[in-house]
């Protein structure tokens, strides 16, 4: 049986795509406007190619800075690297993107289109920060371009992912228009469903809206996804084997401090090699470190999060003590993390490491693990860009369950 083919739109760093590749799908193309995220996608495609050809050592040489990125990419067939299309999806660019994808198709068959437009226009936080409530934001209507890809390539199914705010944005007008548009071009759309990443092995309280459409008029229900028991804990099961860090410390390549455990093995977070990359955290000033210490102490001893207006006056620098009082937040060590978002790229206040002996914000690798990225996943572009890519991503473990359900539907049709 030939591999099931898909196109990933608004691909980001490839969290959604990673789940589909692990389920045996073949990516025809990834389309993404961020150059750094595109570089991450190319490096990840290089990993998959080399793994399939039993040449993982070459990839690990890159992770250990023994060969350059350009040398790594040259080892991989050009058509794989070139399948990552670095462009914004817009009326100006869409025909050119179609042409580039057409060149990569050895037939007109595309089984699936996946992806979700940038979420700021639908997110509750985005709306609260914008004086116009994002009403005039062009990102509200990127789903119309998504539909143009459905019209051109006619996949049997599509998977559209976005934030919870999509369900209410614009008094539900965007969601209604979206579904009507998909139906008008020949797709039956299952009831939009909220998935909780925790139910699929991710140690994070993260919920996302998933819309799945099937080509044709046959009505169908949202597919059932296999859930897993998830009693694992962030500090004991997810962070336990990573070296201790000081604020600002960068362990670009480092050894694990403890043997693999059941969680890291079952989820394939650790891949059998004896090193890990991008265990890097940001520098903090003395004031922030003192606040972090207060936050850690209150969480560990009282299971409470302090409010900004509870800080000693000498530590308060913001005059606004009535809004956004939860500026500082400790990751829950004995449960699951709160949602990782792209704002982690700007500061670490909302993601404080839960240990008084390591007063700092979490590292790039720790954030990646919270999002369920495997340790061999490398994020290009430096620390800040890596945090941004991780915060915007779909957790690969959740994507894996979605992919398994779509694989079953496609093979059953």
Q: Class for domain 5-225+394-412, per CATH?
A: alpha beta
Domain boundaries, the chain: 5-225+394-412, 234-391
Our CA dihedral for 172, 137, 12, 361, rounded to 10 degrees, sits at -90
Q: What is the 3-state secondary structure (H, E, C) of 178-189?
A: HHHHHHHCCEEE
Say how many Å lie between the first and final Cα of the chain, rounded: 14
For the entire predicted model, the pTM comes to: 0.93
Rounded distance, CA 382 to CA 387, Å?
A: 9
Structure tokens at 142: 């990127």
Q: Is the dihedral of CA 307, 313, 317, 320 positive or negative?
A: positive
Rounded distance, CA 390 to CA 370, Å?
A: 9
Give whole-number Cα distances, 142 to 13, 264, 332, 372, 391, in Å.
19, 37, 35, 27, 20
Q: Along the 413 residues of the chain, how does pLDDT read in single tens digits?
A: 578 999 999 999 999 999 999 999 999 999 999 999 999 999 999 999 999 999 999 999 999 999 999 999 999 999 999 999 999 999 999 999 999 999 999 777 899 999 988 865 555 545 344 454 444 445 568 999 999 999 999 999 999 999 998 998 877 888 999 999 999 999 999 999 999 999 999 999 999 999 999 999 999 999 999 999 999 999 999 999 999 999 999 999 999 999 999 999 999 999 889 999 999 999 999 999 999 999 999 999 999 988 888 888 888 877 666 666 678 999 999 999 999 999 999 989 999 999 999 999 999 999 999 999 999 999 999 999 999 999 999 999 999 999 999 999 999 88
Our CA dihedral for 283, 286, 292, 294, rounded to 10 degrees, sits at 170
Q: Class for domain 234-391, per CATH?
A: alpha beta
Catalytic positions are 119
241 touches 261 (CB < 8 A): yes
354 touches 330 (CB < 8 A): yes
Q: Is the dihedral of CA 355, 359, 365, 367 positive or negative?
A: positive
Rounded distance, CA 4 to CA 23, Å?
A: 10
Tell me, what's the pLDDT at 135?
A: 47
Q: Which helix (H) or strand (E) holds 199?
A: none
């Amino acid at each position: 049986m030939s591999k099931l083919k898909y196109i990933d739109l608004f691909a980001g760093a490839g969290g959604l795509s990673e789940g589909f590749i692990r389920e045996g799908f073949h990516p025809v193309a990834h389309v993404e406007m961020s150059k750094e995220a595109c570089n991450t996608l190319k490096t990840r495609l290089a990993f998959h190619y080399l793994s399939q050809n039993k040449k993982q050592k070459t990839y690990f040489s890159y992770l250990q800075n023994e060969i350059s990125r350009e040398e790594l990419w040259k080892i991989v067939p050009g058509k794989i690297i070139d399948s990552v299309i670095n462009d914004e999806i817009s009326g100006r660019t869409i025909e050119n993107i179609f042409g580039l994808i057409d060149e990569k198709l050895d037939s007109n068959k595309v089984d699936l289109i996946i992806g979700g437009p940038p979420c700021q226009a639908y997110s509750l936080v985005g709306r609260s920060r914008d004086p116009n409530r994002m009403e005039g934001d062009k990102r509200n209507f990127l789903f119309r371009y998504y539909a143009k890809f459905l019209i051109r390539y006619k996949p049997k199914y599509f998977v559209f992912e976005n934030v919870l705010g999509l369900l209410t944005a614009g008094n539900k007008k965007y969601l209604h228009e979206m579904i009507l548009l998909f139906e008008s071009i020949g797709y039956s759309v299952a009831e939009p469903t909220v998935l909780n990443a925790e139910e699929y092995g991710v140690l994070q309280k993260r919920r996302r809206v998933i819309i799945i459409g099937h080509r044709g008029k046959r009505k169908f229900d949202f597919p059932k996804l296999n859930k897993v028991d998830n009693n694992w804990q962030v500090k004991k099961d997810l962070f336990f084997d990573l070296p201790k860090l000081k604020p600002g410390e960068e362990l670009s390549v480092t050894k694990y401090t403890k043997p693999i455990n059941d969680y890291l093995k079952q989820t394939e977070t650790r891949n059998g090699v004896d090193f890990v990359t991008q265990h890097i955290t940001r520098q903090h000033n003395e004031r922030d470190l003192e606040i972090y210490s207060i936050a850690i102490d209150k969480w560990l001893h009282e299971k409470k999060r302090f409010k900004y207006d509870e800080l000693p006056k000498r530590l308060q620098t913001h005059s606004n003590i009535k809004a956004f009082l939860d500026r500082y937040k400790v990751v829950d060590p004995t449960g699951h993390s709160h949602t990782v978002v792209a704002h982690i790229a700007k500061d670490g206040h909302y993601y404080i490491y839960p240990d008084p002996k390591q007063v700092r914000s979490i590292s790039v690798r720790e954030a990646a693990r919270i999002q369920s990225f495997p340790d061999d996943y490398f994020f290009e572009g430096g620390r800040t860009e890596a945090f941004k890519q991780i915060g915007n991503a779909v957790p690969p473990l959740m994507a894996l369950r979605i992919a398994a359900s779509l694989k079953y539907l496609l093979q059953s049709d």
